[in-house]
């Protein structure tokens, strides 16, 4: 334990877990929990299984993963990570993600998603993989807004610069534009700032239910118009349509767009992919 932040070391029995996340078959999580402490994070549900306190105040280090991945091949795309960020601040100290990449079979089809420019540290290892893609989450949050909902993550400009450097190093890269929140996420701005060096894009509109009660209450109090759009069928459909028009006019390559409709409308679905 360091200060008020809890660090728990543990061992796990298997390296890869099945996932239903679009575009992947397996997930690997070097850590559980995340120092970035994003207010809307969908992984907050893990607090029900790890009773260490509020999301963002603890992290589980799965220290034996580098040994578990040795000589193990799995078919299908592996996503790193789903309930954490493999390049959150503690990675600078423990280098667990780097050790996993060093020991992992280079025949594994790996997709990495992070909010941190620390990912650039491991470009040398990325180049050893036969099939790899590295994505940065970009959402245009800045200033007071970012401090409130993404307090400990790197600034947007650092993520964008990371995308550019990955491109310059010949690494297949992508931008994950998420969460898209009406009135808060400037999709057009993000596209314009990244399309010159980004291979492809994923877009995800905020999953209001998964964002949790605390975030919903914050959104109602601070941005009631955004909340109303997300909760109203007609207004949400209109907003999605307008955003899709911006995306289509940009001429970028898009892997998919995911919309999490309110339960009273329909379940989440992948709108399109090309």
Buried b (16+ CB within 10 A) or exposed e, 184-202: bbbbeebbebbeebbbbbb
* Strand 254-259 to 200-205 pairing: parallel
Q: What is the mean pLDDT of residues 83-89?
A: 97
| Predicted pLDDT at 123 | 98
Q: How far, in whole angstroms, is CA 175 from its chain's centroid?
A: 10
| Predicted pLDDT at 266 | 38
115-163 pLDDT, tens digit per residue, is: 999 999 999 999 999 999 999 999 999 999 999 999 999 999 999 999 9
DSSP 8-state secondary structure symbol assigned to residue 104: B
Q: What percent of the chain has pLDDT over 90?
A: 90
Q: What is the mean pLDDT of residues 251-263?
A: 87
Within the chain, residue ranges assigned H as helices are 65-68, 91-94, 96-103, 123-126, 143-149, 156-168, 187-194, 213-222, 224-231, 233-250
- The angle formed by the CA atoms of residues 191, 192 and 194, to the nearest 5 degrees, is 65
Q: Who wins on pLDDT, 234 or 178? A: 178
Report the C-alpha gap between 268 and 236 in whole angstroms.
Answer: 13
Task: Specify the DSSP element, H or E, that contains 26.
Answer: strand 26-27
| Predicted pLDDT at 119 | 98
DSSP 8-state secondary structure symbol assigned to residue 46: G
Q: Could you tell me which CATH number the domain at 6-272 has?
A: 3.80.30.30
Report the C-alpha gap between 23 and 256 in whole angstroms.
Answer: 9
Residue 238 has pLDDT above 70, yes or no: yes
DSSP 8-state secondary structure symbol assigned to residue 42: G
**Which pair of structure tokens corresponds to residue 81?**
């990570």
Confidence class of residue 260 from pLDDT cuts 50, 70 and 90? confident
16-74 pLDDT, tens digit per residue, is: 999 999 889 999 999 999 999 999 999 999 999 999 999 999 999 999 999 999 989 99
191-235 pLDDT, tens digit per residue, is: 999 999 999 999 999 999 999 999 999 999 999 999 999 999 889
Confidence class of residue 262 from pLDDT cuts 50, 70 and 90? low
Contact at 8 Å (CB) between 65 and 91? Answer: no
Q: Is the pTM of this model over 0.75?
A: yes
Confidence class of residue 268 from pLDDT cuts 50, 70 and 90? very low
Report the C-alpha gap between 77 and 5 in whole angstroms.
Answer: 33
């Amino acid at each position: 334990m360091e200060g008020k932040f809890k660090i728990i070391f543990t061992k796990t029995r298997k390296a890869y877990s099945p996932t239903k996340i679009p575009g992947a078959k397996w997930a690997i999580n070097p850590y559980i929990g995340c120092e970035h402490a994003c207010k809307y994070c969908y992984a907050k549900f893990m607090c029900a299984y790890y009773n260490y306190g509020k999301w963002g105040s603890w992290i589980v280090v799965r220290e034996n993963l580098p040994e578990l991945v040795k000589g193990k091949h799995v078919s299908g795309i592996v996503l790193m990570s789903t309930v954490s960020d493999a390049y959150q601040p503690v990675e600078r100290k423990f280098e667990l993600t780097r050790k996993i990449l060093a020991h992992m079979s280079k025949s594994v089809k790996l997709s990495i998603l992070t909010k941190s420019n620390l990912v650039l540290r491991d470009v040398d290892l990325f180049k050893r993989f036969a099939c790899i893609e590295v994505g940065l989450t970009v959402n245009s949050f800045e200033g007071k807004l970012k401090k409130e909902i993404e307090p400990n993550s790197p600034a947007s400009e650092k993520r964008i610069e990371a995308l550019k450097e990955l491109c310059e190093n010949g690494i297949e890269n992508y931008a994950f534009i998420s969460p898209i929140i009406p009135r808060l996420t400037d999709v057009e701005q993000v596209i314009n700032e990244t399309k010159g060096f980004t291979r492809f894009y994923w877009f995800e509109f905020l999953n209001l239910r998964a964002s949790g009660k605390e975030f919903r209450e914050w959104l109602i109090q601070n941005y009631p118009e955004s909340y109303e759009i997300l909760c109203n069928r007609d207004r949400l459909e209109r907003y999605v349509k307008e955003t899709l028009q911006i995306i289509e006019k940009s001429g970028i390559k898009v892997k998919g767009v995911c919309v999490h409709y309110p339960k009273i409308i329909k379940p989440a679905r992948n709108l399109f992919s090309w």
